[in-house]
Amino acid sequence: MKPLTEYIARSLVEHPDEVDVREYRHGSRVTLELQVAKDDMGRVIGKNGRVANAMRTLLRVAAEREGLQVALDVVEP
């Protein structure tokens, strides 16, 4: 799930080098923290969170295949 998040984020931002994804796992729950440059926040969140929500939808498909639950947080640098 981390590679999927990284790929999408790097493809959408102006500063791909500053994309950082951390994965935390507690049992079957996975939390992904996506950090991007400050001026790229809007590009990975989108209007009304549309981009982040689309990413969550795709992450859910990947997670369900492994019997996991996933949460994605976009965090400030």
Residues that bind other proteins in the complex, under the rule CB under 8 A? 3-4, 7-8, 11-12, 50-51, 53-55, 57-58, 61-62, 64-65
Shortest distance in whole angstroms from residue 21 CB to other proteins: 12
**Contact 71/62 with Cβ under 8 angstroms?**
no
- Nearest residue (CB) to other proteins, 33 versus 56: 56
Counted residue by residue, the chain has a size of 77
Closer Cβ to other proteins, 35 or 63, answer by number: 63
Q: Which two tokens stand for residue 64?
A: 């369900």
Segments of 27-68 assigned E as strands: 29-35
Task: Specify the residue, 35 or 40, whose C-beta has the smaller distance to other proteins.
Answer: 40
Q: Which helix H or strand E contains 6, and what residues bound it?
A: helix 2-12
| Least distance (Å) between residue 64 CB and other proteins | 8
